Amino acid sequence: MAAADPFECNWRGELALTFAPSASNTVVARRRHSGPFCIQQPFYPGDGACHVYLLHPPGGLAAGDVLELDVDVAPGAAALLTTPAATKFYRSDGAPSVQRQTLRVGSGASLEWLPLDTILFGGSRAVIETAVELEPGARFIGWEQLSLGRPLSGDRYATGTLEQHTWIGVDREPQLIESLRYGAGERLLTAACGLDSFGVCGALYAYPARDLLLARVRERIGAATPSHQTTLRCGATLLDELLVVRCLAREPEALRNLFEALWCEIRPSVVGRTPSSPRVWRT
């Protein structure tokens, strides 16, 4: 686990998981947790992967809270991680709230990191850090989905800040290094080169991918995106063998539905398994 966080810590949750192959499936070979962050019994829906739901009973992060996840998927193992509910960053008048995940995937292993969306409440001070370390021959699908405020509750994200860092590497060579910093009211949120006043944004990543898969993804995006692009705007590209899909949306459901459709499209090619959606997504 990482060293003590420099920010004042109000409530810290830490969870470390190791997945390993067994004679018949993938098992949680080791788990360690402290604070309000844990898992219950893994699920085996018949797709060959070990499905695990990450549980954070408080439901969100307040000022100074730190939520840290450390995952190792051993060679030959297959794991899918998701959450039963959205992650919420609450209003903070003090220290930022920090979410940090480090995901390591061994050769011949696969990891699908598919959490439900993250909601940034107005006045929140969010720091989100994601590092994905892939060995040669590893397979990975992951996504990030962010909602600014809660418009249906009258929260238009009038104040707040976000600092987000994403690193994805293969054999210790970076494929993607990205940092984003913005505050409510900044021009980046309304500019055409930024979020263009869309309240929801996200990215989907898949490795390894080829040109043929990119073409199929673009075709699926084209079918789902209105020609006028007023409710959903997306693009896809390849960075070597890393597929990156970026989307802006008006509603979180539109982004979530598209990402689930893309996951169904790419899962057989990327991790070699037919789609089997976690049951918690429909409850």
Residue 6 lies in a domain: no
| Rounded average pLDDT over 18-29 | 96
Residue 262 lies in a domain: yes
pLDDT at 241 over 50: yes
Query: Given this model, what pLDDT does residue 218 score?
Result: 97
User: 81: closest CA among 119, 46, 40?
Assistant: 40
% of the chain beyond a pLDDT of 70: 96
Q: What confidence tens digit (pLDDT) does each residue in 114-129 have? A: 999 999 999 999 999 9
Q: What confidence tens digit (pLDDT) does each residue in 41-81 have? A: 999 999 999 999 999 998 899 999 999 999 999 999 999 99
pLDDT band at 4 (very low <50, low <70, confident <90, very high): very low
pTM to 2 decimal places? 0.94
pLDDT band at 174 (very low <50, low <70, confident <90, very high): very high
Give the integer Cα–Cα distance in Å for 153 and 88.
Answer: 14
Query: Given this model, what pLDDT does residue 226 score?
Result: 75
pLDDT at 8 over 60: no
Could you tell me which residues are beta bridge partners of residue 70?
Answer: 16, 102
| Rounded average pLDDT over 11-26 | 95
Q: How many domains does the chain have?
A: 1
Query: Given this model, what pLDDT does residue 59 score?
Result: 85
Q: Which domain holds residue 232?
A: 19-272
Residue 14 lies in a domain: no
Residue 32 lies in a domain: yes
pLDDT band at 3 (very low <50, low <70, confident <90, very high): very low
Query: Any residues with CB less than 8 A from the CB of 58 and at least 6 apart, and which?
Result: 11, 36, 65
Could you tell me which residues are beta bridge partners of residue 155?
Answer: 150
Q: What confidence tens digit (pLDDT) does each residue in 74-114 have? A: 999 999 999 999 999 999 988 999 999 999 999 999 999 99
Residue 8 lies in a domain: no
Query: Given this model, what pLDDT does residue 39 score?
Result: 96
Residue 234 lies in a domain: yes
Query: Given this model, what pLDDT does residue 14 score?
Result: 97
Q: What confidence tens digit (pLDDT) does each residue in 129-172 have? A: 999 999 999 999 999 999 999 988 999 999 999 999 999 999 99
pLDDT at 250 over 50: yes
Give the integer Cα–Cα distance in Å for 115 and 137.
Answer: 24
pLDDT at 195 over 50: yes
Are 238 and 220 a contacting pair, CB within 8 Å? no
Query: Given this model, what pLDDT does residue 180 score?
Result: 94
147: left (phi over 0), alpha (psi -120 to 50) or beta: beta
Q: What's the mean per-residue pLDDT of the chain?
A: 94
Query: Given this model, what pLDDT does residue 5 score?
Result: 45
Residue 116 lies in a domain: yes
Residue 133 lies in a domain: yes
